[in-house]
Amino acid sequence: MSTKTQQPTPRDGAHATLPGGPAPADVVDARAALERLDRVMSENVGLANEVLRSYEQLNLVFEVTHQIAEITDVAEIERILVGQIGRLIGADQVHVVASDDARRVYHTANGAAHQTEPSGPISETLRQKVAEARAARHTVASETPDGSLVVSPLSRMDSMDVVVAMREQVDRAFSAGDLMLIESMLSFGGKIIANCELHEKLRRMSFDVTRALVSAIDKKDNYTSGHSERVGFLARMIGERLGVSTVDLQWLEWSGILHDVGKIGIREEVLGKPGRLTEEEFAHIKEHPRMGYEILKPIAEFDPVLQGVLRHHENPDGTGYPDGLRGDEIPLFARIIHVADVFDALTSNRSYRAAFGVDQACDIIRKDSGSKLDTQATEAFLAALEQFRQDQPHTFAHMFVQGRGQ
């Protein structure tokens, strides 16, 4: 009698699987769920990385906008803006193309921009993209044999530059986010640059008007024509000898040019009087430093020149005016301008005397050094003047000898 082996029967709801046969339905479902979970996790990691990158970009945008908002030098704003754009969108080079197709090329790395000379004329492809962005006034992206380009306009006060960001690998196209980022930054940067350019234009206009005013004051007296410009020139020359910074040299020169602006308030009969002044007339003309100070004080741009204008008749021994300051109480600009002013006055004709010769004037200045004139400024002046006479004899003669009674 044969015996049959009893096969176990699956419980209700269970699934039997023969060896080598298809997977049970619940295993298939689990595998599919795991695959979906893996995809979701991968997507989440990608999203997290994208969010992190966006956060870093926003952080950098905030930093650069805050940084350039406090700068007034247009070239420095452009350098910072270009460097950070290169960093934010991973550009290898950034070209700034001006309206005449002249270009400034920057190599960017780690948020810094290093300007280099263009290797050659702008290519025809680049010229077309620049023209397209300039005409459309919006950002244009393109793929070229040399790499990926994004071209975006940078509006200035009176012109429009175009910024070209380049990635040298052809398989690294710029994203839509990159385009939005560069467009936003250039829009903000362009407004800052335009404001700086407007401020500089107004500043130049203010200085030009002031220079014209000073020239008009000089011409009120035939004996002082060109005096203020020469004092500004000599003051700068002394300042260079003393190691004054480049920025301060500009203000020092302007202090010299403006030192007598207060004479606009002096009566013409006193300014042009042939002969020596009375005590009352001299007291009146001694008011011009304070008058000049009061004229310029409301103009914020002229703040660096005020002390030079107010104090240029103070003497180290305390006998000067308007306040009888002594020694180092007198600002450096004023000490320098005083020496330049005295020399130019000595070498100019006056209604009551002929001009002194250059060497004679220098002897008088040496004699007054330490009492009426600052010793350090005097020594710097004498050395600088002699160097000027040797280096530029014709200019020297034209300024201080020819046509001045010598």
pLDDT value, residue 21: 52
C-alpha 243/C-alpha 183 separation (Å) is 44
Percent of the chain past pLDDT 70, that is, above it, reads 76
Single out the residue of 84, 93, 89, 86 nearest to residue 62, CA to CA.
Answer: 84
Query: At 4, is the secondary structure helix, strand, or coil?
Result: coil
Name 151's bridge partners.
Answer: 140, 164
Task: Give the residue, 309 or 23, on which the prediction is more confident.
Answer: 309
pLDDT at 405 over 50: no
pLDDT at 239 over 90: yes
pLDDT at 114 over 80: no
Do residues 78 and 98 make contact, with C-beta atoms less than 8 angstroms apart? no
Task: Give the residue, 111 or 396, on which the prediction is more confident.
Answer: 396
Tally of CB atoms within 10 A around 313: 19
DSSP string, 340-396: HHHHHHHTS-BTTBPPPPHHHHHHHHHHHBTTTB-HHHHHHHHHHHHHHHHH-HHHH
pLDDT value, residue 278: 93
Please name the amino acid found at residue 33.
A
Q: Residue 336's pLDDT band (boundaries 50, 70, 90)?
A: very high
Name 112's bridge partners.
Answer: 109
Rounded to the nearest 10 degrees, the angle between the axes of helix 74-89 and helix 176-220 is 170
Single out the residue of 113, 66, 69, 115 nearest to residue 87, CA to CA.
Answer: 113
What is the separation of C-alpha 36 from the centre of its chain, rounded to a whole number of angstroms?
56
pLDDT value, residue 157: 80
pLDDT at 112 over 60: no
pTM of the model: 0.62
Single out the residue of 212, 259, 209 nearest to residue 233, CA to CA.
Answer: 259
Q: Enumerate residues 6+ apart whose C-beta is below 8 A from 279.
A: none
pLDDT at 221 over 80: no
Q: What is the pLDDT of residues 282-292, one digit of tens each?
A: 999 999 999 99
Structure tokens at 358: 């250059």
Do residues 164 and 130 make contact, with C-beta atoms less than 8 angstroms apart? yes
Q: What is the pLDDT of residues 197-210, one digit of tens each?
A: 888 888 888 888 88
DSSP state of 287: T
pLDDT value, residue 192: 85
pLDDT at 150 over 50: yes
Q: Map out the domains of the chain as residue ranges.
A: 40-197, 221-400
pLDDT value, residue 18: 47
The residue-averaged pLDDT of 250-275 equals: 90
Please provide the average confidence, as pLDDT, over all residues in the chain: 81
pLDDT value, residue 13: 47
Q: Residue 179's pLDDT band (boundaries 50, 70, 90)?
A: confident
Structure tokens at 266: 């002096």
pLDDT at 89 over 60: yes
The residue-averaged pLDDT of 157-167 equals: 81
pLDDT value, residue 170: 60
Query: At 331, is the secondary structure helix, strand, or coil?
Result: coil
Q: Residue 303's pLDDT band (boundaries 50, 70, 90)?
A: very high
Please state the CATH superfamily assignment of the domain spanning residues 40-197 in this structure: GAF domain (3.30.450.40)
The residue-averaged pLDDT of 138-143 equals: 80
DSSP state of 401: T
pLDDT value, residue 162: 82
Name 353's bridge partners.
Answer: 350
The residue-averaged pLDDT of 139-143 equals: 80
CATH number of 221-400: 1.10.3210.10
Do residues 139 and 183 make contact, with C-beta atoms less than 8 angstroms apart? yes
